[in-house]
């Protein structure tokens, strides 16, 4: 049997490596203990869960390099992609970032203290407020987003282009089972 190590670099190719991973071992044990159950879903769900954990670690490391947490990045990115003048109401921010209004208030408070956003009364609703990127906030999110996209490219490059396209289609289809298509960004 041919060795899976690259003769040039001594690196195991994960695509052709037949060694079992943790999920294979867990499934093997369950097949022994519960042969009456189909444990194949555990292989997909378990690996997806583990990949998501690793991705979160890799993504948040980039946010931290810019002094941001995951929630901070999310708010700043939502404001930035709104286009000039880079502002939204707190309710709109909460809806676009899928957090409660209380959580959004805490995030905006923190970002305002850091000088990354400002708050002002709404021009449309006298009782409402508007959250906007400050000039510094725009600089921070532009730099962070540039690094974020480079990091995501690095992570996705573990797959070839066809695999990435296929995975995106499958995940979009699966996600539609849980979420309605959105008209929000």
pLDDT at residue 11 is higher than 60: no
CATH code where residue 75 lies: 1.10.10.10
The answer to whether residue 173 is domain-embedded is no
The answer to whether residue 58 is domain-embedded is no
pLDDT of residue 9: 43
Q: The pTM is what? A: 0.81
Which domain covers residue 136, as residue numbers? 70-146
Higher pLDDT, 89 or 126: 89
The answer to whether residue 82 is domain-embedded is yes
The answer to whether residue 163 is domain-embedded is no
The answer to whether residue 137 is domain-embedded is yes
Other beta carbons less than 10 A from residue 62's beta carbon: 20
Going by pLDDT thresholds of 50, 70 and 90, the confidence category of residue 95 is confident
Query: Which residue shows structure tokens 């540039």?
Result: 146
The answer to whether residue 26 is domain-embedded is no
pLDDT of residue 76: 97
How many domains are there within the chain?
1
Going by pLDDT thresholds of 50, 70 and 90, the confidence category of residue 29 is very high
Per-residue model confidence as pLDDT tens digits over 124-145? 877 789 999 999 999 999 999 9
User: Which residues, at least 6 apart from 38, have a Cβ–Cβ distance to it below 8 Å?
Assistant: none
Q: Is residue 23 exposed (0-12), middle (13-18) or buried (19+ Cβ within 10 Å)?
A: middle
Going by pLDDT thresholds of 50, 70 and 90, the confidence category of residue 3 is very low
Q: Lowest-confidence range among 50-54, 113-117, 180-184?
A: 180-184
The answer to whether residue 141 is domain-embedded is yes
pLDDT of residue 184: 60
pLDDT of residue 6: 37
pLDDT of residue 183: 64
The answer to whether residue 10 is domain-embedded is no
Residues of the chain with pLDDT > 70, as a percent, come to 89
Going by pLDDT thresholds of 50, 70 and 90, the confidence category of residue 5 is very low
Going by pLDDT thresholds of 50, 70 and 90, the confidence category of residue 17 is low
Higher pLDDT, 173 or 9: 173
């Amino acid at each position: 049997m041919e060795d899976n190590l690259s003769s040039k670099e001594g690196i195991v190719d994960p695509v052709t490596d037949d060694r079992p991973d943790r999920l294979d071992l867990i499934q093997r044990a369950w097949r022994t203990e519960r042969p009456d159950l189909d444990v194949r879903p555990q292989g997909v769900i378990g690996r997806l869960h583990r990949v998501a954990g690793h991705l979160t670690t890799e993504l948040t490391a980039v946010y931290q390099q810019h002094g941001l947490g995951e929630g901070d990045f999310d708010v700043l990115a939502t404001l930035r992609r709104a286009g000039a003048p880079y502002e939204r109401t707190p309710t709109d921010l909460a809806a676009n970032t899928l957090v409660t209004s209380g959580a959004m208030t805490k995030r905006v408070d923190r970002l305002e203290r850091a000088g990354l956003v400002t708050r002002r009364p709404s021009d449309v609703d006298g009782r409402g407020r508007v959250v906007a990127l400050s000039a510094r906030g725009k600089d921070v999110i532009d730099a962070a987003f540039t690094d974020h996209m480079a990091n995501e490219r690095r992570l996705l490059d573990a797959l070839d282009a066809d695999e990435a396209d296929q995975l995106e289609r499958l995940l979009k289809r699966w996600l539609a089972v849980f979420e309605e298509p959105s008209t929000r960004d």
